[in-house]
C-alpha cells in the first residue's frame, strides 16, 4: 500500500483520493484553495455528488487535506485544464504549477500520474521536463497519464466500473500505475504509451461531439423535408451498427465542447472535427431562428428560458448553449426571463419561481431537459401568448397543446 499525494481536490481529484484512501492507501489531498482544505478539515464536503458523503465518512482515517505537497510514493495530478476562449487553446498553467510543486519532493522510484486532460504530447513536452528539474530523469522516476473518464452525476460509479487507460513512459510505469488503480477499479485496465493515452481521452469526447453534430445536422435537414428527426434516429438506431445521439440546443460542459479544440490545437489536418464544433456552437442560433418566427409581430416580446445548466439535473452552467441563446435574445431587444431549479450561479439572473418566470411570456423555450420540467402544468402558467419551443423534444406536448399552447419542436415538422 502506498502513500499518495493528490494535487487538486475538485470533482475528480477528491473522489479519486477517497476511493484510494478507502482501499488501503494513505492519501494526502492538496489544494491551493484554502477554503476547500478548511472545509474538508472540518469534516464537511465542498462538492455535491451522489455517494460522496458516505465515502468521505468511510475513508476519513486514511485521508487528510492540506495546502502543501508532501513527500510520497505516488503523486497524482488532477487539476483543471481550462479552455482559453480567446485563443481556443488549452491552458496548462494549473498542470504546470502542480508539476512544479512536486519537484522539491520527487525522489527516484516515485510515480507521477497525470489525470488532468491535456493536449497530445503535453506530458512529454511540458510536464516531464518540469519534473526533471528535480535532477532526476524520467525513467528514474515513473510517469503515466491515466485520463479520468467518469461522467458528472455518476462519478463514483463510473470511477469504479469504467475501464481505464494507463499510458506509461515505460513498462514499469504502466505496471505500477495499474497496481495502484487495481485497488478500486473493477473495469479492465488497458496499458499503452503516454502520447496514445492523451490522444484516446480526447478522441472519446471528440467522437461524442461529432456524433451530436451529425444529429444536429440531421435535425436541420429533416426540417427541410418535413420529416420528424426524432423518429428517424429512433428507427435508424434499431440497426445493430448505428448509434446516433440526440439533437439539441448545442453542446455544453467543460469536456465535450472543449476537448476537440485540445485535440486539434497542433495540427493543420482537422476538418470534420472543427466543422462539428461549428455545427454544435451554432445550434443556439438555429433555436433563435425558430423562436424569432414564433414571436414575430408581437410588440415588446418576452421569452422564458427553461433550464440553463449544460445538461439535465445538474447545476453546472459551464459552456452552456443557453448563454449564447439568451445573449442573442437580449441583443434583439427581447425581455428574457430565466427559470432553472438547479443553477445557482449564472451570468444572467435566474428566477427560482417558475410562475414568475412565465408571467407575461410570449414563448416558453426549453433549453435544458431537467426532469422536474415534465411536471409543469401548462394550464396554470400566466403567459401572455401560449407558445412553447422544445429544443430537446422532451416535454409532454399533448399536455401543452391541450392547455392551448402552440408547440414547436426542434427537428420536427410543424403541426400548424
Rounded-to-5 percentages of helix, strand, coil across the chain = 40, 15, 45
DSSP conformation letters of 131-200: HGGGS--BTTBEEEE----PPTTSHHHHHHHS-EEEEESSHHHHHHHHHHHHTT--S-EEEEEHHHHHHH
Give least dist CB 248 to ligand SAJ, A: 4
User: In angstroms, what is the minimal distance from the CB of 362 to ligand SAJ?
Assistant: 25
Considering beta carbons, is residue 69 or 146 the nearer one to ligand SAJ?
146
- 254 vs 397 by CB, closer to ligand SAJ: 254
For the CB of residue 202, give the shortest distance to ligand SAJ in the complex, in Å.
9
- Is-contact 191 178, C-beta < 8 A? yes
Helix or strand run (H / E) with residue 113: strand 111-114
Q: What are phi and psi of 143, to 5 degrees?
A: -150, 140
**Residue 10 CB partners (closer than 8 Å, separation 6+):** 31, 47, 78, 79, 80
Q: Give the nearest distance from C-beta 319 to ligand SAJ in angstroms.
A: 8
Minimum CB distance to ligand SAJ, residue 171 (Å): 27
410 neighbors 219 (Cβ within 8 angstroms): yes
The binding site for ligand SAJ (CB under 6 A) comprises: 148-152, 204-205, 208, 212, 245-246, 248, 251-253, 255-256, 310-311
Alpha-carbon distance of 371 to 98, in angstroms, equals 39
Q: Which of 146, 255, 317, 358 is catalytic?
A: 255
Which C-beta is closer to ligand SAJ: that of 310 or that of 325? 310
Q: Which is nearer to ligand SAJ, 311 or 324 (CB)?
A: 311
357 is written with which cell numbers? 418566470
Is 174 catalytic? The answer is no
Our answer to whether residue 363 is catalytic in this structure is no
Distance, in Å, from the CA atom of 373 to the CA atom of 313, rounded to the nearest integer, reads: 10
* 410 phi and psi angles, rounded to 5 deg: -60, 130
DSSP symbols for 283-304: HHHHHHHHHHHHTTT-SS-EEE
- Of the two residues 152 and 406, which places its CB atom closer to ligand SAJ in the complex? 152
Instruction: Select 149 or 178, whichever has its Cβ closest to ligand SAJ.
Output: 149
- Minimum CB distance to ligand SAJ, residue 13 (Å): 13
Query: Of the two residues 176 and 305, which places its CB atom closer to ligand SAJ in the complex?
Result: 305
What is the nearest approach in angstroms of ligand SAJ to the Cβ of residue 393?
11
> What are the cell numbers at 80?
483543471
Catalytic residue among 146, 174, 201, 311: 201
d(CA 23, CA 45): 20
Active site residues: 201, 255
Amino acid at each position: 500500500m502506498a502513500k499518495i499525494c493528490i494535487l487538486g481536490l475538485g470533482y475528480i481529484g477528491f473522489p479519486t483520493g477517497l476511493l484510494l484512501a478507502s482501499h488501503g492507501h494513505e492519501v494526502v489531498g492538496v489544494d491551493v484553495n484554502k477554503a476547500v482544505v478548511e472545509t474538508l478539515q472540518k469534516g464537511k464536503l465542498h462538492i455535491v455528488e451522489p455517494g460522496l458523503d458516505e465515502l468521505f465518512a468511510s475513508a476519513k482515517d486514511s485521508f487528510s487535506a492540506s495546502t502543501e505537497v508532501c513527500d510520497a510514493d505516488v503523486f497524482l495530478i488532477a487539476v483543471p485544464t481550462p479552455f482559453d476562449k480567446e485563443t481556443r487553446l488549452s491552458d496548462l498553467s494549473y498542470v504546470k504549477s502542480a508539476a512544479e510543486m512536486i519537484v522539491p519532493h520527487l525522489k527516484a522510484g516515485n510515480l507521477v500520474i497525470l489525470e488532468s486532460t491535456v493536449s497530445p504530447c503535453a506530458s512529454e513536452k511540458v510536464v516531464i521536463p518540469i519534473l526533471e528539474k528535480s535532477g532526476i530523469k524520467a525513467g528514474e522516476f515513473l510517469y503515466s497519464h491515466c485520463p479520468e473518464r467518469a461522467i458528472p452525476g455518476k462519478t463514483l460509479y463510473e470511477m469504479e466500473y469504467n475501464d481505464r487507460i494507463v499510458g506509461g513512459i515505460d513498462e514499469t510505469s504502466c505496471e505500477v500505475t495499474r497496481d495502484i488503480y487495481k485497488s478500486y477499479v473493477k473495469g479492465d485496465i488497458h496499458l499503452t504509451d503516454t502520447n496514445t493515452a492523451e490522444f484516446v481521452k480526447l478522441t472519446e469526447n471528440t467522437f461524442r461531439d461529432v456524433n451530436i453534430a451529425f444529429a444536429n445536422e440531421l435535425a436541420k435537414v429533416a426540417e427541410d423535408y418535413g420529416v420528424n428527426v426524432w423518429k428517424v434516429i429512433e428507427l435508424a438506431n434499431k440497426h445493430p451498427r448505428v448509434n446516433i445521439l440526440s439533437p439539441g440546443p448545442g453542446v455544453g460542459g467543460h469536456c465535450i465542447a472543449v476537448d476537440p479544440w485540445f485535440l486539434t490545437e497542433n495540427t493543420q489536418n482537422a476538418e470534420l472535427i472543427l466543422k462539428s464544433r461549428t455545427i454544435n456552437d451554432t445550434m443556439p442560433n438555429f433555436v433563435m431562428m425558430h423562436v424569432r418566427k414564433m414571436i414575430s409581430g408581437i410588440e415588446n416580446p418576452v421569452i422564458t428560458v427553461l433550464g440553463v445548466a449544460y445538461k439535465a439535473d445538474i447545476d453546472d452552467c459551464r459552456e452552456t448553449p443557453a448563454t449564447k441563446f439568451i445573449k442573442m435574445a437580449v441583443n434583439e431587444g427581447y425581455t428574457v426571463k430565466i427559470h432553472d431549479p438547479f443553477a445557482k450561479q449564472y451570468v444572467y439572473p435566474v428566477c427560482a419561481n417558475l410562475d414568475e418566470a412565465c408571467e407575461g411570456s410570449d414563448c416558453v423555450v426549453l433549453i435544458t431537459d431537467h426532469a422536474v420540467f415534465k411536471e409543469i402544468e401548462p394550464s396554470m402558467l400566466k403567459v401572455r401568448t401560449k407558445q412553447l419551443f422544445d429544443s430537446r423534444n422532451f416535454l409532454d406536448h399533448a399536455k401543452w397543446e391541450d392547455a392551448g399552447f402552440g408547440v414547436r419542436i426542434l427537428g420536427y415538422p410543424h403541426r400548424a
